[in-house]
Amino acid sequence: DKGPYEHFMLKEIYEQPLSIEDTFRGRISMDHSKIFLGGIIDVLPQITQANRIIILACGTSWHAGLVGEYLFEEFARIPVEVEYASEFRYRNPVINKDDVIIAISQSGETADTLAAIKMAKEQGATILGICNVAGSSIPRETHAGVYTHAGPEIGVASTKAFTSQVTVLTMMSMLLGKTRGFLSKEEYTHLVGELTQIPDKIRTILQADDEIKKISETYQHATNALYLGRGYLFPVALEGALKLKEISYIHAEGYPAAEMKHGPIALIDENMPVFVLATKDKSYEKIVSNIQEVKARNGKVIAIVTKGDEVIKKMADHVIEVPDCHEAVAPLLTVIPLQFISYHIAVMRGCNVDQPRNLAKSVTVE
Ligand code: M6R
């Protein structure tokens, strides 16, 4: 049931404060001093001592995995590799018994991800799952895992599943960071507090829907688009581009902003919209220079900024504000405007938002 919404995708975008709260439920203590992930408690020693974590996924779930890489390395200091399941399974990857594999999948039925974990399991690794659909094939194949509890996702374009996956990865990385001694009690409690504020901060962004729709109108006839981000927001740039491609059929590319000068900058002219993730974090100054580089070539800049940013407002063609937050949880906020933009542009172009051409909700063929 779509309720008052025209499409499932829009409903699912709006559900995110609640779906993230469902992901938290029963897993965070009131005083923020404890994260409890019952599904992985039995394998916590293996994860804590892991030599390496390999994340396997496809599509949007792979983007969530990339955010996980930044989180695990920052907070838990465990080396992470993020692999497309389809590539991993068909090469001859080196897998050790003390590797921990995390499969991320909304449906739990993606053929490539399932085959990849079966292969890694045969070689003795510990296999975890981060899945949304309870009892699906991937969770049945894993040793342990954490369900996202985002509720059924009907729109082919993944939205709330992504934010719930990132929420689980954030909780896991903090838990491991504390267990491994890299996060002090104070840092940990502070970060958990930052995470629990996310649903309310998303509520604020949802109120900007009409304003974002107006901005989207300007770009509905674009044929190409670039998405740029750095650090935690690089995977969000990839996700923004995928969303635009799959539902509005506009060619879009996501790039780490610093890579722009190694090629994609040649594409920039007055017809190129460039969506820049530019919230206040440790690469802020650098992203400001990237915006200047785009403007110097007459590109159109739509920047996602921290509320109150006056510097970028003067340079960009449009800004969309998100509430201030710790940089590690910024993907959960900054992805929301990008979901809205793809949704509105797709509707304006008359596309079938919930069932885009050539796509299925779960890809059970290899
Ligand atoms: O069910 P899964 O998370 O394993 O699905 C993976 C991809 O097929 C999926 O994320 C796909 O890229 C979505 N259409 C993205 O919106």
pLDDT digits (tens, 9 = 90+) for 267-324: 999 999 999 999 999 999 999 999 999 999 999 999 999 999 999 999 999 999 999 9
Single-letter residue type at 159: T
* Neighbour tally for 134: CB within 10 Å: 10
Distance, CA of 160 to CA of 149 (rounded, Å): 10
Cβ(97)–Cβ(124) below 8 Å: yes
Q: Judge whether residue 127 has pLDDT over 90.
A: yes
Mutating to test ligand 1, I would choose from 8, 60, 147, 154 the residue with most ligand atoms within 8 A of its C-beta, which is 60
Distances (CA, A) of 132 to 81, 129, 181: 22, 10, 30
End-to-end CA distance of the chain: 31
pLDDT at residue number 156: 95
Ligand 1 centroid from CA 58, angstroms: 6
φ/ψ (deg, to 5) at 272: -100, 110
Whether this model's pTM surpasses 0.90? yes
Could you report the per-residue pLDDT of 59-87, keeping only the tens digit for each? 999 999 999 999 999 999 999 999 999 99
The total number of residues shown for the chain amounts to: 366
Distance, CA of 142 to CA of 130 (rounded, Å): 10
Q: Judge whether residue 366 has pLDDT over 90.
A: no
* Neighbour tally for 74: CB within 10 Å: 16
SS3 3: coil
pLDDT at residue number 262: 95
* Neighbour tally for 129: CB within 10 Å: 27
Ligand 1 centroid from CA 144, angstroms: 21
Mutating to test ligand 1, I would choose from 89, 242, 363 the residue with most ligand atoms within 8 A of its C-beta, which is 363
Cβ(141)–Cβ(109) below 8 Å: no
Here the ipTM equals 0.99
Ligand 1 centroid from CA 137, angstroms: 15
Residues touching ligand 1 (Cβ under 6 Å) are 58-61, 105-107, 110, 113, 156-158, 242, 246, 359, 362-363
Could you report the per-residue pLDDT of 206-246, keeping only the tens digit for each? 999 999 999 999 999 999 999 999 999 999 999 999 999 99
Q: What is the mean pLDDT of the chain?
A: 97
* Neighbour tally for 94: CB within 10 Å: 9
Distance, CA of 131 to CA of 183 (rounded, Å): 27
> What are the structure tokens assigned to 171, written together?
């909780």
Q: Which of 357, 330, 4 is nearest to 170 (CA)?
A: 330
- Please say if 361 is a catalytic residue: yes
Letter string b/e over residues 254-263, b meaning 16 or more CB atoms within 10 A of that residue's CB: bbbbeebeee
* Neighbour tally for 205: CB within 10 Å: 24
